[in-house]
Structure 1
Amino acid sequence: MFNRSLRKPRLSSLVLAAAGAAMAGSAAAADLTISAGLPKVHFWVGQYMEPFANAVEAATPIRFKRFYAGELVAVGRELDALKGGTIDVAAPLLAPYHEGRFALSDVTQLPTYNTSAVSVTKAFQKLLDSPVKIKGDKSFYQYEIADKGIRVWPLGATAPYVISTTGKVLQSPAELKGLPLRAGSAMHTIVLQQLGATPVTMPASQAYEALSRGTVNGLVLSVADWKSYSFQDLIKYTVTGVSIGHWESYLATTEDQWNKLPADQRQTWDRIARETALKNAEGIDRQDVEVREAAEKKGSKFVPITSLSADMQTFIAKASANTWIQWIEQTEKKGQPGKATAKLWASLVQAEGGKVPDGVAEYLAK
């Protein structure tokens, strides 16, 4: 009797411990709604959102309910949807489409030389991690991101944005004057104005029809992006070797949702997000080459800037430098630390092997 009475409490304790462990495991699991405003074919969805979600699900109890192509949240509405609880994760949160709300994130769209998707992705991750103060006691991340109540990671940056036309050859500054070209952002508008062209702002999804009808004679876009919109059938001339910037955007969740996850899951998520960004960038750089080769077989010409006249090279370099200056001064007038951000960005780009236009370093040093 004595021995049996001892065994009962021990058995009950084991059962209770097992039940407690099961409850703890259940509490550690999370079902999260993840949304993309872009279609699966886009490299930020098929090559980032999907592998990120798959890897996190394989390594943690987290499970994602996935939505694509704006079926739940449209492009430019991601921040409101996150903060309103419609979604738990935006993949991507397209910062340039949130007008005025991510004023400093456009810094990656400033013109550069010798940059790639991989080098810019590395530089952008370093920008987010940098402790350098850009205003008061705030770093870039604290100023641009944390105050919005969200937690973000970079996607793979686009390949270099380039100027392309449906056939118009650009050998002199005069051939750019007044030329209607599609611009996808405020920064592209500045660049095209500096070049003397006429910017026509529209989403890339509307550009095929505009190019077909001759409403615009070309566009500013990365070659890798052509595949998403079938532009390789229309574009016949592209100037390479100078980047009209790179688009970057974010994987994002709210700080509240992030803090609900156990520490080990947060660590795994962070690691996978960073690794996926670099793999995404590597894939984008490969896609840039593949699309270019396919377009060349259809008669499209890619002309290195170094093969253009000295006057044209100087003209484009000056316009690129003036774009940096105009963006900085416009941003500063709005009370944002544009110059400090641009100075930090320039140093990070150069550390990854890129170059900034002549005259930019001198301006930033003033």
Structure 2
Amino acid sequence: MFHFARNLVTATALFGAALGTSANAADLIISTGLGKPHPWVGAHMDPFADAIEKGSPDVKFTRFYAGELVGVGKELDALTSGTIAVAAPLLAPYHEGRFPLSDVTQLPAYGTDSPMVTRAFQKLLDSDVAIKDGKTFYQYEIADKGIRAWALGATAPYSISTVKKVLREPADFSGTPLRAGSALHTIMLEKLGATPVTLPGSQAFEAASRGTIEGLVIAISDWPSYSLQQLLRHSIVDVSIGHWESYLAISDAAWNELSEEQKALFDKTARDVAASNAQEWETRLTKVKDESIAKDGGEFTSINTLSDAMKQHIEKAAADTWVAWIEKTEANGHPAKATAKLYAELIQAEGGTLPAGVADYLAK
């Protein structure tokens, strides 16, 4: 059974015209809060819209970029109010409290890449396993919000990268100000002993340039989106501080204007473009690393080459992050443990590895 998550909203509010003249014709507003250089724009939003317009000539998109119409964290309200029809992407972690379980892919793991996480997250959305009160993940997290949603291509693994300071031993983290992009990153940095500084990616360059932060938790393949390749020199790799996932979303109102053939096209295209987008994240990861090494003297240090004390410190922080996120989210009334257990099964089936002790904790 397919789950569709989308928010197509009438163009009437902005253009004085109806969403579509029939179930076979629609003029849809698609919006992103991100700039064109971002992989979720040039390698996701635009290819998705292009493929839909090619596959169904009666569907046309009016495209808005870089927050021209709707800023980051405002996508859900824009969908349900009719300001836009499609959010590409809807960045769930910036909608505080409204998608309490969608951060699950940001839990630390080993041996994961973007395609693996993309497949696992879409399987989580498609799963018929109940996580609370007979509701699946999709029913709990998405279905009552007036939208239909699909997984994006997950980012490449998030890593800890610094400008000048080299993190070699556990004490090097102590008090070090590092950018956190989400609540889960904040937990991980606290467990490491660093000082988390919550900032959107768009503010990271200035903060790192001024020395307000020593470095960031961010996907290496995303450095060019924010010109960070000019600054970051030292990265710890081969441990993922999770992967950022979120949604391509269309409103229920807009969805209902589409024909069955168009709905099938939306579903297939969303899945296909997410898969190709995931591969683009991996391609960019290799390219950015190679260019950083060749041009800027960048260093990428495997966790497996660090001292035993440092490796154990990071591994313990990774495991403790699972526990802290689950217990905090459960305390707020949400089925975080059931969600984490299901996601853990899915990511392990893809070839990923959990931090030591997590499997035992989830089995209790």
Identify the TM-score tier after normalising by the shorter chain: over 0.9
CA 1:336 to 1:26, structure 2 compared with 1: closer, same or farther past 3 Å?
Answer: closer
Q: Which residue of 2 aligns with 1:293?
A: 290
Structure showing the higher helix proportion among its residues? 1
Q: CA deviation at 1:26?
A: 5.7
Q: Which residue of 2 aligns with 1:55?
A: 51
Q: Is the 8 A contact 2:55 2:265 kept in 1?
A: yes
Q: Give RMSD over aligned pairs.
A: 1.1
Point out the more displaced range, 63-72 or 251-260. Answer: 251-260
Q: Which residue of 2 aligns with 1:325?
A: 323
Q: Is the 8 A contact 2:23 2:258 kept in 1?
A: no
Q: Which residue of 2 aligns with 1:21?
A: none
Q: Secondary structure at the match of 1:75?
A: coil
Q: Secondary structure at the match of 1:159?
A: coil
Q: Aligned ranges for residues 144-293 of structure 1 at < 5 Å?
A: 144-293=141-290
Structure 2 CA distance for aligned equivalents of residues 25 and 318 of structure 1: 58
Q: Is the 8 A contact 2:32 2:89 kept in 1?
A: yes
CA 1:314 to 1:267, structure 2 compared with 1: closer, same or farther past 3 Å?
Answer: same
Q: Which residue of 1 aligns with 2:39?
A: 43
Structure 2: which amino acid aligns with 1:53? Answer: A
Structure 2: which amino acid aligns with 1:342? Answer: A
Q: Which residue of 1 aligns with 2:351?
A: 353
- Report the TM-score, using the length of structure 2 for normalisation: 0.93
Q: Secondary structure at the match of 1:281?
A: helix
Point out the more displaced range, 205-214 or 51-60. Answer: 205-214
CA 1:174 to 1:71, structure 2 compared with 1: closer, same or farther past 3 Å?
Answer: same
Structure 2 CA distance for aligned equivalents of residues 106 and 84 of structure 1: 25
Q: Which residue of 2 aligns with 1:305?
A: 303
Q: Identity over aligned residues, as a percent?
A: 60
Please list the CA deviations of residues 254-303 of structure 1 after superposition, one character each: whole Å capped at 9, or x if unmatched: 12221221101100111011000000000110001101111111101000
Please list the CA deviations of residues 341-363 of structure 1 after superposition, one character each: whole Å capped at 9, or x if unmatched: 00001001101100110010000
Point out the more displaced range, 152-161 or 254-263. Answer: 254-263
Q: CA deviation at 1:27?
A: 4.9
Please list the CA deviations of residues 174-213 of structure 1 after superposition, one character each: whole Å capped at 9, or x if unmatched: 0111111011111110000000000011111111111111
Q: Is the 8 A contact 2:26 2:257 kept in 1?
A: no
Structure 2 CA distance for aligned equivalents of residues 139 and 363 of structure 1: 22
Structure 1 CA distance for aligned equivalents of residues 204 and 36 of structure 2: 19
Structure 1 CA distance for aligned equivalents of residues 228 and 111 of structure 2: 24
Q: Secondary structure at the match of 2:254?
A: helix
- Report the TM-score, using the length of structure 1 for normalisation: 0.92
Q: Is the 8 A contact 2:167 2:173 kept in 1?
A: yes
Structure 1: which amino acid aligns with 2:88? Answer: A
Structure 1 CA distance for aligned equivalents of residues 209 and 33 of structure 2: 25
Q: Which residue of 1 aligns with 2:94?
A: 97
Q: Is the 8 A contact 2:23 2:257 kept in 1?
A: no
Structure 2 CA distance for aligned equivalents of residues 327 and 363 of structure 1: 13
Please list the CA deviations of residues 233-254 of structure 1 after superposition, one character each: whole Å capped at 9, or x if unmatched: 1111000000001001111011
Structure 1 CA distance for aligned equivalents of residues 240 and 129 of structure 2: 26
Structure 2 CA distance for aligned equivalents of residues 143 and 300 of structure 1: 43
Q: Which residue of 2 aligns with 1:33?
A: 29
Structure 2: which amino acid aligns with 1:197? Answer: A
Structure 1 CA distance for aligned equivalents of residues 22 and 322 of structure 2: 51
Q: CA deviation at 1:149?
A: 1.6
Q: Which residue of 1 aligns with 2:14?
A: none
Structure 2 CA distance for aligned equivalents of residues 40 and 210 of structure 1: 22
Structure 2 CA distance for aligned equivalents of residues 151 and 25 of structure 1: 22
Structure 2: which amino acid aligns with 1:230? Answer: S
Q: CA deviation at 1:25?
A: 9.1
Structure 1 CA distance for aligned equivalents of residues 202 and 183 of structure 2: 17
* Gap runs ≥5 in structure 1: 1-23
Structure 2 CA distance for aligned equivalents of residues 184 and 31 of structure 1: 34
